[in-house]
Structure 1
Amino acid sequence: MKTKLTILILAISTMLVAQKKKNGAIYIKHPANQVVLDFLAAFSQNDSVAVANLIADDYKGYDGLNMNPDKEASTKSDILNAMKNWNNLVSHLNIEHTSSGYPDAIEYNDTEFSGGTWVYAWEKYTGMHTKTGVKLNMPAHFQYVVNDENKIVFSRSYMNKNPFTAIYRNSNKVVGGTVYSHHENINKVRKMMHSYQFNDMVGAYEYYNEDTNFKWGSMDWDADPVDLEAAKASDKEFMSNFTINSMNNSWIEYQEMELGGNFVESFWRVNVTRKTDNKNIVFGLYMTHQFNDENEITKVRNLFNAAAL
């Protein structure tokens, strides 16, 4: 039985090898690659003369994500107009290949694909939309065909379109929620913050959820938030080193967001005395307190100049 099984495996392996058929060659260096690189550089520099010289008159371009079967191909004129629009609408436009996505040139043996050299490129479009300030960082995959005259005759693109959606939304006024200057949750935050001045730590934690997490501006960007017990320990250490003379609010509002994540945003003038040398210190404190549907605080974020202390 073991012998029969071994023979069967060898037979299948032989069949798989026999099914291989070479259909061309892949080149990491090829004149067609340079044509594509020159095209990208000219496009991002708004060089219409260079782009026109690199695009064949009978060029056809397709959006690989377009589902309309009747969509007509883009023309050479469309490419030139697209270049102008990109450069007019996007500041600091740059198009380059991703670090691991250098272009490959393929010469096919198949007659259906042998009319030119195919170049498969993985690109990244970066810049900033001039009107809205939306930052672009758009990965894209392009397939090009370069003819014997070193001109691009065909392209098919697959591009992340999400930034275009962001640009559209930010080009119009969109209501994302309601801002309150007076609200029950504002009162809660105000009471909690003033409790610190009067050393009332029960009042300072009155409206926190047991799963509330905290993060401070002095923490590393990717640091995990801390829980309520860790926050209490931090407050205790602060109170042992400083006396809070006043905690005056200069600005506070409650934002009720349509997508959730309602929060109180506030800015405070904090006056403290450092106990080691009795030095008086005044610093600004920016805070956000996020509330859940039960109006309990679930997230706290703050920002202040730790060096001032």
Structure 2
Amino acid sequence: ADDFKAFNGMNSNPDAKGTNKQQFVSSVKGWKNNIDYFSISRTKGAYPDAIEYDNDSGFWVQTWDQIKGVHKNTGVKIDMPMHRLYLVNKDNKISRIVTYDDASVWSEMRDAFNPRKNGIIYNQHENINTVRKMVVALEHGDADKAFSYFTDNAGFTNLDMPQGESNTLAQEKASFKAMLKDWTIDSIDVVGFPDYLEYESPKLKIVMSWWDARLTRKSDGKKVTLPLHLVHYINDDGKITSEIGYYTMSTLK
């Protein structure tokens, strides 16, 4: 319709004027020109509804769709539901569209055009020292000391675990001691240097480190080098609350 208007259903501004037909068409062209692998498909199990109200203003058509694509310039992935209301007038012309979607996706896209710092990276810090001391204790088979750097409710994951599962402190300590029955730790050598990341948003304190654990199997003297990438979350008291281990113990089998 000539008096067409499009509105953002998530906009709480009572004075919002919406966009006219020309502006809406321009935004549609922007999707086509700026999004790779673009698709709109009906949400599984949903179908459009047409509603005619008593005020005789026309038909309201409701749709539920899934938008997918990748923004060309920023690489931001789009995979979100979109709900739209279309007002179809007596001349069978669309006079209004109200769109409900995930505004955070568009916000991330806009933000991605501008460089922004998000905290500080340290290559020397007391939290790095904590991780170093913990690893050195592991190297010497001192489980009590090594695991004393963790909080009592710390969680542990590695690549051998199904997603969503984790070990408790007691389980991880017992697993380490069980490994020592069959293997001798010759050394755990740092690769490169650890990084301590103090994020601004969200407020997180993380130490990332890389190691080569050199082990000898007691039964036959077989030597193995186990690469480790460890991510440790640190609380404000300097204790480790979580360990994510990017390694697999299948190397030792």
The answer, yes or no, to whether TM exceeds 0.5 is yes
C-alpha change, 1:268 and 1:85, in structure 2 (3 Å) is same
TM-score under structure 2 length normalisation: 0.88
Q: Distance in 2 between matches of 1:191 and 1:66?
A: 52
The gaps in structure 1 that reach 5 residues or longer are: 1-55
The reply to whether residue 245 of structure 1 matches residue 189 of structure 2 is: no
Superposition RMSD in Å? 2.2
Q: Secondary structure at the match of 1:99?
A: coil
**Higher Cα Rg: structure 1 or 2?**
1
The reply to whether residue 269 of structure 1 matches residue 212 of structure 2 is: yes
| Residues 137-156 of structure 1 deviation map (CA, whole Å, 9 limit, x = unaligned) | 22221111345776533211
The reply to whether residue 74 of structure 1 matches residue 32 of structure 2 is: no
Matched with 2:56 is: 112
TM-score under structure 1 length normalisation: 0.73
Q: Distance in 1 between matches of 2:11 and 2:137?
A: 59
The reply to whether residue 217 of structure 1 matches residue 159 of structure 2 is: yes
Matched with 1:304 is: 247
Matched with 2:36 is: 91
Q: Which residues of 2 match residues 92-171 of structure 1 at below 5 A?
A: 92-106=37-51, 108=52, 110-113=54-57, 115=58, 117-146=59-88, 151-171=93-113
* Bigger Cα displacement from structure 2, 289-298 vs 76-85: 76-85
| Residues 222-269 of structure 1 deviation map (CA, whole Å, 9 limit, x = unaligned) | 22x222111111111222222222211113111122232212110111
Partner amino acid for 1:110?
Answer: D
Aligned length: 250
Q: Distance in 1 between matches of 2:187 and 2:8?
A: 62
Partner amino acid for 1:157?
Answer: T
The gaps in structure 2 that reach 5 residues or longer are: none
How many Å apart are 1:205 and its aligned residue? 1.9
More helix by share: 1
How many Å apart are 1:296 and its aligned residue? 1.1
* Bigger Cα displacement from structure 2, 270-279 vs 246-255: 270-279
Q: Which residues of 2 match residues 202-213 of structure 1 at below 5 A?
A: 202-213=144-155
Q: Distance in 2 between matches of 1:252 and 1:271?
A: 18
Q: Check the 8 A contact 1:218/1:303 in 2, yes or no.
A: no
4+ residue runs of structure 1 moved beyond 6 angstroms? none
How many Å apart are 1:275 and its aligned residue? 3.3
Partner amino acid for 1:232?
Answer: K
Aligned-pair identity in percent equals 34
Q: Distance in 2 between matches of 1:169 and 1:218?
A: 36
